[in-house]
Structure 1
Amino acid sequence: MHFAKALVSGVVTAQSIALLTLGANGIATAANEVGGCAVRSASTVASGFGVLENLAFDGTGGLLLSETSFGGAGGGLVRLTPDGSRVTVAPVETPGGLVVSGGTAYVNTGNTFASGVSDTPDGAIVAVDLATGAVHTAVTGLRMPNGLAQLPDGGFVVSRDVGGATTLTRVAADGSGAHTLAPELTSTNGLAYDPGRRKLFVSTTFDAATVIAAVDLEHPDAAPARITLPGFGPLNSADDLTVGPDGAVYVALNTAGTVVRVDPEAGTYCTIARDLPFVTSVRFGAGPGWDPKSLYATGFLGAVTRLAP
């Protein structure tokens, strides 16, 4: 949830305006931009949704979407198929990040600006059975859970970009043992676990600098490695991210309306898509009917966009 989402929902508050007036002190050196990174061709896959926060592929031909009404209430987990058919799998109140594990989709709920600024622990992670639509609550007591990643042990990490403690929270699969992970990172948002590197990639949204950080889960107390993208953080509004088959990190810059490819080893970046207003999340296609070489993007304006190579 960010300033842009508040604008789309028609709910602009003094707090959300203040996010754009943060000082720019302490911005780190920007990553180096590299050439030769081809811009992808954008085409609309589907439109007419409400506010789309996140996406994931179920591996059986479905693209799952976190959808909330433009009024900022209600919501659900929606399944889109390549032929354009769509169905609500389950109602989920103000959903955020989602991940798929087997036949289950885990979805953050309670991802609201109001909960963030009021520090209200009304957020949760719910588990949705993709075959039946049955919903049960896996984790409770979260504050504005935005991004979501599942770790190899079955536990979760959630992010939060608005409010008091905008750090990462790690919690066991049974909902126990909630604690702060990588407290150096604030205004956290996008999350992607990379099993090859055993690192968790994290984006920051409203800090003065836009940071893409890598948390080493073998050494979780070590300071995360950081790559800083150019530009004032809130005017980029880095949102969700994914790790591609090439090992690069692909980041949606919401307010900037761009998608950036980051090489975490070289510390370089390039812009691969532009003119995507309020883009929120990107994933490579997976499952029947979805091109594995294309990125699929969601946005606050209710469209799903294919970014073809």
Structure 2
Amino acid sequence: MNQILIIKYFLFLSMSFFSYAEPAKLPIEAEVLFNEPFFGCEGITFNGEGKMFLTCNKALWVIEDGEPKKVADLYSNLGLSAIGERDVLVADFGLENAFRHQKNHDGIVWRITPEGERKVLVKGIGDPNFILVLEDKSILISDDATNEIFRFSENNGLEIFSTAVNHPNGLALSKDGKKLYVAQIFKSIRPVTPDNSLWSISIQDGKALSAAIKVGQTGEVGANDGLVVDEHGRIYVAANGDGIIWRFDPENGEKVMIAKDIFGVASLAFGEGDYDHQSLFATTTFAKGLGGKIYQIKVGVKGQPVIR
């Protein structure tokens, strides 16, 4: 009996080991998945059907049969989030933005079907950038030109969720859902000056506490953009200005360079559907004439379950 228990124990350890196969050599070489027809991209997400959606060239795109197909035209390229089984939420600056104009309120969050049918879900935000769906189906929206993170729900409409982080961009929940991680992209927008901070805001009873705690910093000109969290609770940060993806472990403070030389790296998503679930997929913005590429980075670990 003891021998059987020992064998079962070692089988369990073996299964645990092989379920997490992080590459031995870091940083990982990023592979170009798509190069054309894009000149600048931002958002990336997978819907409930496992289809990849992108915001590029001021439009929403879906990848079908390995080829990009335009779904709907937009005013800008910004963040994406899946909602429900098929649709996506799309952040859009609108006709004006605070980087070229004064503070405004013409930003939009669209809800768009894979067939291109769209409706305005949220309006009244200046420059919405990143969207995060919560368990109760409300959504968080960062305005990267201000210090505002909004919360929208069908019952309560649009309200301020937090003003604890200046120029917030990427948003992600901790593994236990008790913390919101926030990427700070700028110190200021006049002139545009990049920041490199990653913050944590505690959440209690569905509300943000006022304090924000610094989790870590990326490179010197990080311009932190998209965020995702893996199944072990570690945070991946797209440092747009440095072209680097960093990983932070909030449990022990470990900071690891996952991939480099991804100029203008913007949003991140773990693979779903027919895409490798142990890979990160990354978009790139307008950078050094190399923007618009979509990359795959084989990190050897899955993302935490996505809320739709």
Measured in 1, the distance between the counterparts of 2:177 and 2:213 equals: 13
Relative to structure 2, which stretch is displaced further, 213-222 or 264-273? 213-222
Shift of 1:286: 0.6
Q: Does 1:90 align with 2:76?
A: no
Correspondence for 1:172 among 150, 153, 160:
153
Measured in 2, the distance between the counterparts of 1:38 and 1:90 equals: 38
- Which AA in structure 1 matches 2:119? H
Q: Residue 139 of structure 2 aligns with which residue?
A: 156
Secondary structure in 2 matching 1:118: coil
Q: Residue 66 of structure 1 aligns with which residue?
A: 55
Shift of 1:60: 2.5
Say whether the 8 Å CA contact 2:82–2:88 is kept in structure 1.
yes
Say whether the 8 Å CA contact 1:182–1:224 is kept in structure 2.
no
Q: Given the superposition, is the C-alpha separation of residues 107 and 38 from structure 1 closer, same or farther in structure 2, using an over 3 Å criterion? A: same
Q: Does 1:55 align with 2:35?
A: no
Identity of aligned residues (%): 25
Say whether the 8 Å CA contact 2:75–2:92 is kept in structure 1.
yes
Correspondence for 1:308 among 280, 283, 298:
298
Measured in 2, the distance between the counterparts of 1:271 and 1:206 equals: 21
Q: Given the superposition, is the C-alpha separation of residues 263 and 138 from structure 1 closer, same or farther in structure 2, using an over 3 Å criterion? A: same
Q: Given the superposition, is the C-alpha separation of residues 197 and 178 from structure 1 closer, same or farther in structure 2, using an over 3 Å criterion? A: closer
Correspondence for 1:206 among 183, 186, 202:
186
Count of residue pairs brought into register by the alignment: 260
Q: Given the superposition, is the C-alpha separation of residues 257 and 175 from structure 1 closer, same or farther in structure 2, using an over 3 Å criterion? A: farther
Relative to structure 2, which stretch is displaced further, 113-122 or 45-54? 113-122
Q: Residue 196 of structure 1 aligns with which residue?
A: 176
- Which AA in structure 2 matches 1:252? A
The gaps in structure 2 that reach 5 residues or longer are: 1-23, 188-193, 286-290, 300-308
Measured in 1, the distance between the counterparts of 2:281 and 2:71 equals: 20
Q: Does 1:44 align with 2:32?
A: yes
Shift of 1:284: 1.0
Give a deviation string over 1:259-286, Cα, whole Å, max 9, x none: 0011122222110101010110111111
- Which AA in structure 2 matches 1:250? Y
Correspondence for 2:106 among 115, 119, 122:
122
Q: Given the superposition, is the C-alpha separation of residues 120 and 113 from structure 1 closer, same or farther in structure 2, using an over 3 Å criterion? A: closer
Say whether the 8 Å CA contact 2:239–2:245 is kept in structure 1.
yes
Secondary structure in 1 matching 2:97: helix
- Which AA in structure 1 matches 2:244? T
Q: Residue 77 of structure 1 aligns with which residue?
A: 60
**CA RMSD of the aligned region, Å?**
2.2
Q: Given the superposition, is the C-alpha separation of residues 93 and 175 from structure 1 closer, same or farther in structure 2, using an over 3 Å criterion? A: farther
1:1-309 → structure 2 map (5 Å cutoff): 38-48=26-36, 49-68=38-57, 75-81=58-64, 83-101=65-83, 102-110=85-93, 114-116=97-99, 117-130=101-114, 132-162=115-145, 165-173=146-154, 176-179=157-160, 181-194=161-174, 196-207=176-187, 210-218=196-204, 220-229=208-217, 231-232=219-220, 235-288=221-274, 290-300=275-285, 301-309=291-299
Q: Given the superposition, is the C-alpha separation of residues 106 and 173 from structure 1 closer, same or farther in structure 2, using an over 3 Å criterion? A: farther
Give a deviation string over 1:199-250, Cα, whole Å, max 9, x none: 2211001137522122222251241332121544xx1111111111221111
Q: Given the superposition, is the C-alpha separation of residues 79 and 175 from structure 1 closer, same or farther in structure 2, using an over 3 Å criterion? A: farther
Q: What is the TM-score with the length of structure 1 in the denominator?
A: 0.77
Measured in 1, the distance between the counterparts of 2:95 and 2:182 equals: 20
Measured in 2, the distance between the counterparts of 1:244 and 1:151 equals: 17
* Over 6 Å off, 4+ runs: none
Q: Based on CA coordinates, which of the two structures has the bigger radius of gyration?
A: 2
Say whether the 8 Å CA contact 2:195–2:223 is kept in structure 1.
no
Q: Given the superposition, is the C-alpha separation of residues 175 and 143 from structure 1 closer, same or farther in structure 2, using an over 3 Å criterion? A: farther
Relative to structure 2, which stretch is displaced further, 100-109 or 222-231? 222-231
Measured in 2, the distance between the counterparts of 1:230 and 1:61 equals: 31
Measured in 1, the distance between the counterparts of 2:66 and 2:162 equals: 40
Measured in 2, the distance between the counterparts of 1:119 and 1:158 equals: 17
Say whether the 8 Å CA contact 1:78–1:90 is kept in structure 2.
yes
Measured in 2, the distance between the counterparts of 1:111 and 1:195 equals: 33
Give a deviation string over 1:50-82, Cα, whole Å, max 9, x none: 3101100124342100113xxxxxx2110124x
- Which AA in structure 2 matches 1:38? L
Q: Given the superposition, is the C-alpha separation of residues 230 and 127 from structure 1 closer, same or farther in structure 2, using an over 3 Å criterion? A: closer
The gaps in structure 1 that reach 5 residues or longer are: 1-35, 69-74
